[in-house]
C-alpha cells in the first residue's frame, strides 16, 4: 500500500478538521480530526527529516490552525482554511516529503 505523503495528511487534517467541525456543529469532533492528522504527519516528519524538523513543522501546523481564524475574518472561512493548508503542505514538502 502506498504511503500518503505527510503534506497531504497535514493539509487534509486542516481542511478535514474544519469541515467536520462545520458540518457536524461539534468543534470537538473537528479537533479530534485535526489532532489525529497532526500526530500522523508529525510521526512521518520525524521519520523523514528528524526530530528538529518535525518540531518545526508541527509548530507550523499549529500556527496555521491558529492563524486561520483571524485570516477567516478577512477572506472568509474556506479560503482561509485552504490557504493555510496549502502553506503547510508546501512547507512539509520542502522540508520532509521531497527527501522521501
pLDDT in single tens digits along all 100 residues of the chain: 458 999 999 999 999 999 999 999 999 999 999 999 999 999 999 999 999 999 999 999 999 999 999 999 999 999 999 999 999 999 999 999 987 6
CA 80 to chain centre: 13
What is the pLDDT, as a whole number, of residue 31? 98
CA neighbor of 94 nearest in space, from 6, 13, 9: 6
Inter-residue contact 33 to 13 (CB < 8 Å): yes
What is the pLDDT, as a whole number, of residue 99? 72
pTM of this structure: 0.94
CA 41 to chain centre: 8
> How far apart are alpha carbons 6 and 91 in whole angstroms?
10
What is the pLDDT, as a whole number, of residue 98? 87
Inter-residue contact 40 to 9 (CB < 8 Å): yes
**What DSSP state is assigned to residue 58?**
H
> How far apart are alpha carbons 21 and 31 in whole angstroms?
7
What is the pLDDT, as a whole number, of residue 3? 86
What is the pLDDT, as a whole number, of residue 51? 97
Amino acid at each position: 500500500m502506498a504511503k500518503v505523503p505527510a503534506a497531504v495528511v497535514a493539509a487534509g487534517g486542516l481542511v478535514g478538521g474544519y469541515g467536520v467541525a462545520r458540518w457536524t456543529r461539534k468543534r470537538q469532533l473537528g479537533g479530534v480530526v485535526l489532532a489525529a492528522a497532526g500526530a500522523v504527519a508529525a510521526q512521518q516528519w520525524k521519520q523523514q527529516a528528524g526530530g528538529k524538523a518535525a518540531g518545526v513543522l508541527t509548530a507550523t501546523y499549529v500556527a496555521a490552525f491558529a492563524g486561520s481564524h483571524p485570516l477567516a475574518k478577512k477572506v472568509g472561512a474556506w479560503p482561509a482554511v485552504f490557504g493555510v493548508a496549502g502553506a503547510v503542505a508546501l512547507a512539509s514538502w520542502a522540508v520532509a516529503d521531497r527527501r522521501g
